[in-house]
Amino acid sequence: MRCPYCGSPDTQVKDSRPTEDNTAIRRRRICPDCGGRFTTFERVQLRELVVLKRSGKRVPFDRDKLTRSVEVALRKRAVDPERVERLVSGIVRQLESQGDTDITSETIGELVMEGLKQIDDVAYVRFASVYRNFREAKDFENALAELSHEGDGKPATPARTIRVRARPAKDDTARASDGKALPRAGAEGGE
Ligand SMILES: [Zn+2]
């Protein structure tokens, strides 16, 4: 297993044991060249999943890529790597238990958001901002409001701790000029 820090081709296994739920083997590794330490997991792969991208391209599902995007969202947040591993495993199992081996990138994105919402508010908003392509501060406020409605008793993370990178709006046709969302087609209420 190649060292993720320096690229050295042979790293050594220091410790090897099953995860809590016995579905994987967790290996602690050390790099003889840079001293870097990292963890790998060995597990059963039940089905070959294919991701259908928005562009229409089909690519093999890559668990490591999913793990990396979750880790990016969780960067510098104090979350146990085993918890991250459980989140990813849970997502993969949900994907595997769907009837179809073709899954859309939207489905994966929504599952990641659901999972992160349970683990870490900041990571959830970070991931959502990229995934949903937030463009204005209002988008962050809406995401935070979603969190506070989940009712775990904790207040949502204050917006000021999250770096807002508002991008110029390219397409505001979905909003009326007064800023209110347009009514959805077919939403005929009783009023
Ligand atoms: Zn190394």
Q: Does a structural domain hold residue 170? A: no
**78 CA from centroid of ligand 1 (Å):** 24
39 and 102 within one domain: no
Distance 64 CA to ligand 1 centre (A): 19
Q: Are residues 99 and 117 in the same domain?
A: yes
pLDDT of residue 4: 87
Alpha helices per DSSP H over 53-173: 63-73, 81-96, 105-119, 121-131, 137-148
pTM recorded for the entire structure = 0.56
In a domain, 143, yes or no: yes
How many angstroms does the Cα of residue 25 sit away from the middle of ligand 1? 22
Structure tokens at 20: 């809590």
Spatial separation of the C-alpha atoms in residues 146 and 152, rounded to whole Å: 12
Are residues 51 and 131 both part of a single domain?
Answer: yes
| Number of domains within the chain | 2
Find the 5 Cα to ligand 1 centroid distance in Å. 5
**Are 53 and 110 members of one domain?**
yes
What is the residue range of 97's domain? 45-148
Assigned domain for 2 exists? no
177 in a domain, yes or no?
Answer: no
Same domain, 67 and 103: yes
Please write the tens of the pLDDT for every residue from 160-184.
444 545 455 444 444 444 444 444 4
Residue 17 lies in a domain: yes
Given a cut of 70, the residues of the chain with pLDDT beneath it are 46, 149-191
Residues with CB under 5 A from ligand 1 (ion): 3, 5-6, 8, 31, 33-34, 36
CA of 69 to the centre of ligand 1 (A): 22
Q: Is residue 91 located within the same domain as residue 50?
A: yes
Q: How far is the CA of 24 from the centre of ligand 1 (A)?
A: 24
79 and 134 fall within a common domain: yes
Q: What is the DSSP letter of 168?
A: P
Task: Check residue 150 and give its pLDDT.
Answer: 57
184: tokens are 């959805």
Q: What is the spatial distance between Cα 141 and Cα 136, in angstroms, rounded to a whole number?
A: 9
Pick from 184, 50, 53, 165: nearest CA to 106: 53
Q: Kindly state whether residues 40 and 108 are assigned to the same domain.
A: no
Cβ atoms of 66 and 88 closer than 8 Å: yes
Cα 31 to averaged position of ligand 1 atoms, centre (Å): 5
CA of 84 to the centre of ligand 1 (A): 23
Q: How far is the CA of 83 from the centre of ligand 1 (A)?
A: 25
Has residue 91 been placed in a domain? yes
Distance 188 CA to ligand 1 centre (A): 61
Distance 14 CA to ligand 1 centre (A): 14
Q: Please check whether residue 189 lies inside any domain of the structure.
A: no
Cβ neighbours of residue 174 under 8 Å, at least 6 residues apart?
Answer: 181, 182
